[in-house]
Amino acid sequence: MNWNICIGLEIRFQLAATKKLFSSAYVKHETPNSSIAFFDAALPGSMPALNPEALRLAVQGALALNCDVAPICQFDRKLVFHPDSLSGYQITQHEMPLGENGFIDLSQDLDGVENVRIPIQSIQLEQDVEESVRMKQTKKNLLNFNRAGSSVIKIVVPPCLHDEQTTGALICKLRMVLSHAGLLYHETELGGMHCRVNISSGSASSNHKNMISGIKPFQIELENLFLVQNVKTAIQSEVRRQFSPAEESNSLRNQVRAFDDKTGKTFFLREKSVFEDHLYVSETDIPPINLSKAYVERLKQAMSPLPDVLYATLTSKPYMLSNFEARALLSYAKGYFYYTSVWDIIVSQKKVPSNTADYVLRSLASCILTVLSSNCNKRLESVPPKQLADVILDTGYKKGSFINVESSIH
């Protein structure tokens, strides 16, 4: 797309905390309404109690995204006026976010886009809301409170993006970084992510040029996007719609819209009359929390290597994987460590002929990726690396060819 647009993001990922953010209820997504505490259901008199595990995960997320961690953690209430919100507010961080002024790097080799550093405006820790399920048979909405109160990390990216490809690569990289840091409840794209996209027609100077050329400036919010491909398609569809001749006379330029994945188009939800849709007040039931430099530094030192470092390791000696293989392995949170563990075990076997070991090592990444892409991730993790290495070497030594890893796991 050649239009002068600016794209900002609000991306929410569910954290891997065992219990909910402000209650003792366990995080479960099985039988509806099977894991609810009084506070999650907004019962009168119930009080929030901050989960230290969720706070730790959020701080680690801020560090993984190179943010400055705030010395004081403070919460606010975002007032929401939805019929499915029993409390009428959501606890979040607005005035004093947990992390600020971060960044994330995208590269051609790992992310498939031009090398660029994307700024991260803020990192916030907030509670998730209850799930509203539409029943087609009865035409009623049912509420599931299992999700209500779960810990969510909210990542705010300023309007610095200009195309859908870079936007999609950024979301994938954010998920990859947080997954490798061990912070996400869901490791797959189908759960745990909620994205809001802000699209505007550029800066004041570009707006002036647009007005001269007869193009009106606009600012659009796209809500409830859960897949990266939907984000990319929605951006492209919406910008084409805004710059189409049919929209030139439309005065309603600031809107909140949703995306229909069946038609590949966006549709109108409501007019956006002001920049901020919600009102915020201080959360008086949760006192400010001091985050000492020693605590933050201890978490920083305990963090695992992040994808950029792991990619450099996989594509250099002794592994020498291709860009495709290294990128594919890193798309799974445990792919790198499983691969390197099996590699080390095979290399350590002195009784195996060198030509057999070399052939096995050259084929190892592609075979493990075949298993992972076949939805065998859980099955693969149930097989210890030592066991898989022994089976591979035994079959390769006897038959002179590499074993089918997937059939071995079966």
Q: Prior bond to 318 cis, omega within 30?
A: yes
Query: How far does the chain reach from its first CA to its final CA, in angstroms?
Result: 46
> What angle do the packed helices 385-399 and 354-373 form, to 10 degrees?
120
Q: With the C-alpha atoms ordered 131, 94, 157, 209, is the resulting torsion angle positive or negative?
A: positive
Q: If the chain, 410 residues long, is cut into consecutive pieces of 10 residues, what is the mean pLDDT of each piece?
A: 79 94 88 89 91 96 96 91 81 93 94 94 92 78 87 94 94 93 73 85 49 60 90 90 67 80 88 72 92 95 93 92 91 88 84 70 81 64 79 62 56
In terms of Cα–Cα distance, which of 81, 78, 57 is closest to 69? 57
* pLDDT value of residue 377: 57
Phi then psi for residue 167, to 5 deg, are -60, -45
Query: What local confidence, expressed as pLDDT, does residue 205 receive?
Result: 43
Q: Transcribe 236-273 into DSSP letters.
A: HHHHHHHTSGGGTT----EEEEEEETTTTEEEEEEE--
Residue 289's DSSP bridge partners are 73
What number of CA atoms fall less than 13 Å from residue 183's CA on the CB side? 32
**Gap between the Cα atoms of 153 and 71, Å rounded:** 18
In the chain, domain spans: 6-295, 305-409
Ramachandran assignment for 375, one of left (phi > 0), alpha (psi -120 to 50 degrees), beta (any other)? left
What pLDDT was estimated at residue 379? 62
| DSSP bridge pairs for 143 | 132
Q: Check residue 58 and give its pLDDT.
A: 96
Question: What are 403's strand-pairing partners?
Answer: none
List of residues 6+ apart from 35 with CB closer than 8 A: 25, 26, 27, 28, 146
